[in-house]
């Protein structure tokens, strides 16, 4: 596949965070871009504002005729699109060049110096930190992010084409399309069991990914993982490790020990030990590339975060409202650790929207345990995404497993009314579904009530 011959790119599922980054990339390259998505969102609105044509009905008659011409046209789709989707079926059965998002990423990054961030948790934040560090060190980098960087207000950073930064997504084994120069594995907790069936198969896929590096490639692994590589960790004996952690006015201050030296008094503002780990591996990868220590320290201190990753919506003496994308029990545990560290004496309300019936079924007991740690819990109905309901798997079923008695199931349309009357002084919305669409509404109503 030679992307130089492509003039038009049509996306089936253009509103996804990864797909929209690719759409922005091709648009910036001067190609004509259009696409379909199921529902309008802030992401699709942003693309439309760039001049990208998008429609929201699976209907070939709504596709511009220019994209129905095979010559010089590329079709990109996400595995989240159902197999019976009429537009996708048409392209697949009429000799179009039809590729998954991961295949396109593999082609774009093949002839670049490629950084790839893998792991069941932490990919988006780590990728965003790494991309920011490289950009601030004047590296000619293109970065495809799985979230909206607060520093750039985008999921695409385009500063050059010699170096690329990508998330290596284990879903559907997509990351096996990549051939990175430098890669890391942040975690290998069981997930996507609807795809893998068994946790051992998931681990095997990470082992396969570790073998995809280019000759003389470098692999970093979180300490404690079973895959061999350069290790990193917090307050341990890893090759790269964070030491002497302090908190000064809500900012972490710490030292970083590398195989060559110790970097003193590094500053980083994102809360939570998991984010310290993300910052460390991003720093280590940039060090391997050759970025100067002093520039890296300054860049790390200026990183603002990623939208929906422990993002403060309200931060006053009377009320704190945080929004986070966490959708796995380990991620919820990380959110809990961070909020308890920052607000040790306050009552915390967690509002959680489970994501996928299969994930809720597979980790129900773990979800119940992680959510029970908060002072109060509100559950919304399960967000199905690509799935159909599974009999017996409901939010009420999960709620019954939560040991905390201060819990309730709330319909999304009643959420604002219920939350406005709550006594807790720290509120967190959690989940990867459309709960993100409620954040601005909830923020405005809470601000009025302060």
For the sheet with 376-379, list strands across it.
311-315, 320-324, 426-430, 348-352, 376-379, 407-409
Domain count, the chain: 3
Which 8-state DSSP code applies to residue 330?
H
Same domain as 133, residue 87:
no
pLDDT by residue (tens digit) across 200-259? 888 899 999 999 999 999 999 999 999 999 999 999 999 999 999 998 888 999 999 999
For residue 192, name the pLDDT band (cuts at 50, 70, 90).
low
pLDDT by residue (tens digit) across 90-101? 999 999 999 999
Q: Give me the pLDDT at residue 169, please.
A: 84
Domain assignment of residue 9, given as a range: 3-100
How far is Cα 35 from Cα 41, in angstroms, rounded to an integer?
14
The answer on pLDDT for 199 being more than 90 is no
Percent of the chain with pLDDT over 70: 98
Residue 350 lies in a domain: yes
pLDDT by residue (tens digit) across 251-278? 999 999 999 999 999 999 999 899 999 9
Same domain as 256, residue 379:
no
How far is Cα 41 from Cα 46, in angstroms, rounded to an integer?
9
Angle, in degrees to the nearest 10, between helices 273-289 and 123-136: 40
As beta bridge partners, residue 149 has: 154, 306
Whichever domain contains 177, its CATH number is: 3.40.1190.10
The answer on pLDDT for 450 being more than 80 is no
Q: Give me the pLDDT at residue 193, please.
A: 57
Same domain as 338, residue 227:
no
Same domain as 265, residue 117:
yes
The answer on pLDDT for 45 being more than 70 is yes
pTM of the model: 0.86
Two structure tokens written together for 364 = 């129900």
Q: Closest Cα to residue 281, out of 327, 233, 313?
A: 233
Whichever domain contains 51, its CATH number is: 3.40.50.720
Over the chain, what is the mean pLDDT?
94
Q: Give the residue-averaged pLDDT of 288-300.
A: 97
How far is Cα 109 from Cα 212, in angstroms, rounded to an integer?
13
Between 82 and 25, the more confident residue is: 25
User: Coil, strand or helix: which one is 150?
Assistant: coil
Q: Closest Cα to residue 325, out of 433, 408, 411, 220?
A: 433
As beta bridge partners, residue 429 has: 323, 351
Lowest mean pLDDT of 30-39, 183-192, 307-316, 336-345, name the range.
183-192
Same domain as 174, residue 316:
no
């Amino acid at each position: 596949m030679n992307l130089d011959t492509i003039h038009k790119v049509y996306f089936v599922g253009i509103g996804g965070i990864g797909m929209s980054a690719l759409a922005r990339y091709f648009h910036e390259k001067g190609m004509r871009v259009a696409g379909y998505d199921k529902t309008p969102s802030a992401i699709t609105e942003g693309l439309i504002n760039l001049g990208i044509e998008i429609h929201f009905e699976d209907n070939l008659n709504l596709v511009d005729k220019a994209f129905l011409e095979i010559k010089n046209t590329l079709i990109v789709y996400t595995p989240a699109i159902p197999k019976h989707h009429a537009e996708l079926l048409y392209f697949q059965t009429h000799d179009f060049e039809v590729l998954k998002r991961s295949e396109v990423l593999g082609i774009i990054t093949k002839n670049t110096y490629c950084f790839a961030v893998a792991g069941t948790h932490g990919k988006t934040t780590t990728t965003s930190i790494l991309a920011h560090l490289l950009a601030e060190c004047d590296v000619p980098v293109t970065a495809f992010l799985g979230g909206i960087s607060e520093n750039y207000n985008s999921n695409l950073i385009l500063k050059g084409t010699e170096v690329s930064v990508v998330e290596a997504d284990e879903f559907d084994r997509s990351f096996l399309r990549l051939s990175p120069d430098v890669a890391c594995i942040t975690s290998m907790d069981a997930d996507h069991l609807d795809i893998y069936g068994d946790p051992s198969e998931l681990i095997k896929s990470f082992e396969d990914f570790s073998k995809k590096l280019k000759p003389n490639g470098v692999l970093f692994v979180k300490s404690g993982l079973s895959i061999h590589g350069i290790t990193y960790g917090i307050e341990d004996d890893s090759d790269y490790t964070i030491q002497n952690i302090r908190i000064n006015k809500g900012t972490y201050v710490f030292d970083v020990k590398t195989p060559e030296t110790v970097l003193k008094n590094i500053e980083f503002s994102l809360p939570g030990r998991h984010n310290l780990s993300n910052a460390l591996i991003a720093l280590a990868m940039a060090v391997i590339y050759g970025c100067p220590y002093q520039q890296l320290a300054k860049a790390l201190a200026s990183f603002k975060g990623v939208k929906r990753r422990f993002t403060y919506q309200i931060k006053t003496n009377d009320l704190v409202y945080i929004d986070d994308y966490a959708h796995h029990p380990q991620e919820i545990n990380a959110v809990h650790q961070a909020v308890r560290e920052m607000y040790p004496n306050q009552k915390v309300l967690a509002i959680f929207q489970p994501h996928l019936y299969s994930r809720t079924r597979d980790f129900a007991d773990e979800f119940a345990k992680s959510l029970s740690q908060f002072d109060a819990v509100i559950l919304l109905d399960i967000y199905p995404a690509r799935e159909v309901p599974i009999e017996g798997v409901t939010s009420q079923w999960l709620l019954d497993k939560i040991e905390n008695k201060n819990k309730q199931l709330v319909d999304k349309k009643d959420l604002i009314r219920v939350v406005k009357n709550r006594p807790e002084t720290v509120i967190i919305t959690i989940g990867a579904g459309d709960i993100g669409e409620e954040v601005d509404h909830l923020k405005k109503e809470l601000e009025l009530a302060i």
